[in-house]
Chain A
């Protein structure tokens, strides 16, 4: 009885929290459907009088090249980051290298640097490689900037894997890469997915490098386009909010897609019922 009472209160609490969490999104959606005049009134709780779905059309038109570019860049860079990062994380935790711990810390420290200050060497680096204003260049930079974080997260998750699993694999004559692919990854899927989510978000939502390393719209990611929607000496908040709704679709789809793999994993744990 007490348990049911607890579940009821929990359910209520969590639902209320979820509703509160959506309130800023409410402001986003209502603004995206207003006219410029309505937005100027700055009554953010009010509903639009005459929903302007054309805002979404205008925003999409401006964003579509960026969406294509971001899909290519973010998905590739995220995949490479997680791949490189988890391999490195496995190498650091599963092989008892003596230099593992100091290397691990070198990696951690690097993730704390705000990259804006090294914008100039980054530009020079890509220019030397001839990769400015190209998909490969942007992907390369995003991988360089985010793989350390991927290593950090996956490595920490891998540390939790019981060594018996590994010993059993060795006894079976399993080579490292196979172990990685067939056992380690499936078992730590929730951890890998969390890392993927975070890295994808960092790359997709990144704004400064997307502008600085591109010229013209050919390979420019979507965030710079989104920033442009508002205008400098004008104020088209309604179009920009519609654009924000559109650009958030891709990460949400990624979250949903990854969410399917969240449950799997070989450890029969508490949350699996």
Chain B
């Protein structure tokens, strides 16, 4: 294919243009972060690290950071692991894959502005679905506030996002499992391997690319759950469920402080880059380059 390198390069031109546009806007954003842009009028007065310093001095910022980390830790791993296990089980069953796929994928057809409301109703402490069902089974639900209590609110939201995105992980793994050579599994089974071994010692390690995609997509989602936070709790009670993208929006638009909003977005980018690049390098080396 080396002879056709020129053609290959031509394939890259559209994405290069797109990335160019994108980075031009990011540069705008970087500039804005270093200005005194407070208020509605574009103001390009240089401010040095003013916005960043103010941002780091807000205790609210650190709560947000902690919340983002919670999302990373508690959303990504359970989602892709459950997705894999479910994909394995469904593949094993041999039948019903089509309909099961649609059932688990359906939540993704709903916008976050709807799922936020639906799950607020699920978690409604007086007559929401969860507490009603628990009451029917005889549990005392008077202390179960779910999203009304700062301590439990964020975990409730992560469950809602898990509900929405499990289908995606499932689909990725269903597709990837189809690429596993049949003989590999057969050989293991003939040797008497249990399902657990087959799944986790043989299949899973060979799905490195699928896992890489899942974890990256889910990590990107933790930055995009802005709509869910906005509809379900507006970041409340207090700021217990607020995450950095939402803080960015509130600073930029609600507080009319675009300088700080831009600074927050730069922090998000740096944070993500610091996370993603080493992880992808490691994952690429380990799983994909055969």
Contact = CB atoms under 8 A, between A and B. Distances in A.
Given A149-B220, A176-B7, A194-B168, A271 B178 contact: yes
Contacts of B172: 194
Q: Which of B110, B168, B182, B185 is the most central at the interface, judged by chain A CB atoms within 10 Å of its CB? A: B110
B286 interface: no
A190 B176 contact: yes
Interface string A117-161: 110111001000000000000000001110111011100110110
Given A17-B86, A205-B112, A109 B182 contact: no
Contact of B23 (A110, A152, A272): A110
Instruction: Classify the interface of chain A: helix, strand, loop or mixed.
Output: helix
A260 to B, nearest CB: 9
A216 interface: no
B21 A144 contact: yes
A24 B118 contact: yes
Contacts of A117: 29, 248-249, 252, 258, 261-262, 264-265
A18 B100 contact: yes
A209 to B, nearest CB: 12
Given A11-B93, A44-B127, A108-B216, A270 B181 contact: yes
30 contacts: A6-B92, A11-B93, A14-B100, A21-B107, A23-B129, A24-B119, A87-B14, A88-B15, A95-B4, A107-B15, A107-B19, A108-B280, A114-B224, A117-B262, A121-B25, A121-B29, A156-B213, A159-B284, A175-B7, A194-B168, A198-B217, A237-B117, A244-B110, A262-B174, A267-B181, A270-B180, A270-B184, A270-B185, A271-B174, A271-B180
Interface of A: 6-7, 10-11, 13-14, 17-18, 21-28, 31, 42-45, 84-85, 87-88, 90-92, 94-97, 103, 105-114, 116-118, 120-122, 125, 143-145, 147-149, 151-153, 156-157, 159-160, 162, 166, 170, 175-177, 180, 190-191, 193-194, 197-198, 201-202, 205, 207, 223, 226-227, 237, 240-241, 244, 247-248, 251-252, 255-256, 259, 262-263, 265, 267-273
